[in-house]
Amino acid sequence: MIDSAPRRTVLRGLGAGAAALAGAGALGACSSREPRQEVKAGAAGFTLTDQRGQKIRFDGPVERIATAIIPAPSMIAAVDGSHARIVGINQSTLQANKEGIFGTLFPESRKTATIAGADFLPNVETVVDLAPDVVVQWGDQGEEVIAPLENAGFKVIGLTYGTQEQMETWIDIFGTLLGKEKRASGLVDWMHEEDAAVRKFVASQDRAGDPVPVLYLRTAADGWTTANKTQYMNHWTELAGGVNVARDEATGTPQVSVEQMLAWDPEVVLLSGFDPATPTAFYADKRLAGLRAVRERRVYKIPLGGYRWDPPCCESPLMWRWTAQILHPALARRIGLRTRLAETFRKLYGHRLTEAEADTVLHLDLNARSSGYDGFRA
């Protein structure tokens, strides 16, 4: 596995609107999903092991969950098939719930109490008022984010994030926490099947041995940043038959100048789902007129489903298919993304996606001027 970028810097950026964390290789290399949680069979409750290696004992069913971690609620809801047990979330999650389709899937998520902001420091008074059975918090962000909760008497599950393997471990842990172990195992198996399917699609293309140059961008206060090979975007780019033009940059989320973009001259530019940047604005920037992706109208806004598709989430197999179709438009019919999108929302959330909702998830409006995007209408 590839190590993640420095956690404090990256995750503060994520809370403020950045995306994509550490990458991973093919799923076949990540089958162990360590560390595994332990369930004490025959006991009245259960014990699980979090990603700090800490064992947490529960004497009965968990009915109330609070989490400071931004992507956790969508994954908990996917494993549970419900938002009913989630009582506290991060401020950034609440914003996404109001802006994206998750608030349609689970209307109560638009009004969920917030227990932390971009720095992930918990508001202990709010947590006390919510009286959760457990709090889900980052396990690698230092004692300052966990100790106040444990000192207040709460059980805390500490998680780490960024690779495909770590995401699969989350699914395992949430399966145990929610009493949905079989469902969780099925979701991980499904991800492995989707990984194999996408790789097979890509291998069938004439240029399978000639990866498509891709640049991932997110806005920053002073311009743009991208992601190197330690980031999760590198995983889905390579899986889909692309090559990250910034993969060999020294830092995990390097700044990108216009001059550097022109030097890389990517064939495709993908704009993060964590900020308001759009292909239209990108095309209108005269400084970028010479960029191949601009000339060929191959700039695309990454979809926003139940969660943003840039970083690891339960909808990541949809991101793999979407990226493969962006890089290889001829695959549109075989990939069948809209059908997979509807199937996935039924699988994860029990929701029958309308055509209009699918259009919104895929940003058909924002991507309307980009080459080949009509392929996502069918």
CATH of the domain at 89: 3.40.50.1980
Does the structure show a pLDDT above 60 at 76?
A: yes
Determine the distance from the C-alpha atom of residue 50 to the mean position of all C-alpha atoms in its chain, rounded to a whole number. Answer: 20
Domain endpoint, select from 180, 212, 246: 180
Start-to-end CA distance of the chain, whole Å, equals: 37
DSSP symbol at 36 = P
What is the number of other CB atoms lying within 10 angstroms of the CB of residue 213? 19
Residue 220's pLDDT is 86
Please check whether residues 365 and 219 belong to one and the same domain: yes
- The pLDDT assigned to 168 comes to 96
Q: Does 298 share its domain with 357? A: yes
- pLDDT, tens digit (0-9, with 9 covering 90-100), for 85-95: 999 999 999 99
Q: How many domains does the chain have?
A: 2
- Structure token digits, residue 322: 């979407």
* Residue 43 within any structural domain of the chain: yes
Minimum mean pLDDT range among 28-32, 230-234, 236-240, 356-360: 28-32
**And the tokens for 230?**
């330690």
Asked, for residue 2, whether it belongs to a domain, the answer is no
pLDDT at 306 over 80: yes
Helices (H), 278-354: 279-284, 292-295, 316-327, 332-335, 337-349
Q: Which residues pair with 212 in a beta bridge?
A: 242
Span 135-145, pLDDT tens digits: 999 999 999 99
pLDDT band of residue 356 (cuts 50, 70, 90) is very high
Domain containing 153 equals: 7-180
Of 25 and 347, more confident: 347
With beta carbons less than 8 A apart as the criterion, state whether 241 and 13 touch.
Answer: no
Q: What is the pLDDT of residues 250-298, one digit of tens each?
A: 888 899 999 999 999 999 999 999 899 999 999 999 999 999 999 999 9
Q: Does position 33 have pLDDT exceeding 50, yes or no?
A: no
Mean pLDDT value across residues 170-196: 97
Lowest mean pLDDT among 99-103, 195-199, 245-249, 269-273: 99-103
Q: Considering the domain boundaries, does residue 1 fall inside one? A: no
Query: How far is C-alpha 286 from the chain's CA centre?
Result: 32
pLDDT of the residue at 100: 86
Q: How confident is the model at residue 221 (pLDDT cuts 50, 70, 90)?
A: confident
Euclidean distance between CA atoms 236 and 241, whole angstroms: 9
More confident residue, 183 or 24: 183
Does 54 share its domain with 156? yes
For residue 209, what pLDDT is reported?
66
Percent of the chain with pLDDT over 90: 80
Q: Would 185 be classed as within a structural domain?
A: no
**What are the beta bridge partners of residue 301?**
271
**161 and 254 co-located in one domain:** no
* Co-location of 171 and 196 in the same domain: no
